[in-house]
Amino acid sequence: MTLRTYKFLVIPVIQQLDEDGNVTAEVQPQQPDSVFGIRGLVAYAEGFEAVLAERESSLNGASSD
């Protein structure tokens, strides 16, 4: 029998911080993100900070309108 990694279900938990670095809230999606195989998991992790920065920028732009 051979086993292989097929799919990971990832639930990212994002913390909101105040100016002093204290956690004021945590946010997580209702459904996990699916990534396939080790390469997919690594790519997800490596790109996550960029995705988070984009979402933060989008939220900051939306809140200033």
Classify residue 31: in a domain, yes or no.
Answer: yes
Classify residue 1: in a domain, yes or no.
Answer: no
pLDDT digit string (tens) for 7-47? 999 999 989 889 999 999 999 989 999 999 999 999 999 99
Predicted pLDDT at 58: 83
What are the residues whose beta carbons fall under 8 Å from the beta carbon of 6, sequence distance 6 or more?
Answer: 36, 37
Report helix, strand or coil for 50. helix
What pTM, to 2 d.p., does this model score? 0.69
Predicted pLDDT at 41: 95
Classify residue 33: in a domain, yes or no.
Answer: yes
Classify residue 52: in a domain, yes or no.
Answer: yes
Classify residue 58: in a domain, yes or no.
Answer: yes
Q: How many structural domains does the chain have?
A: 1
Classify residue 38: in a domain, yes or no.
Answer: yes
pLDDT digit string (tens) for 19-29? 999 999 999 98
CA atoms of 24 and 56, how far apart (whole Å): 15
Structural domain including 36 reads 7-63
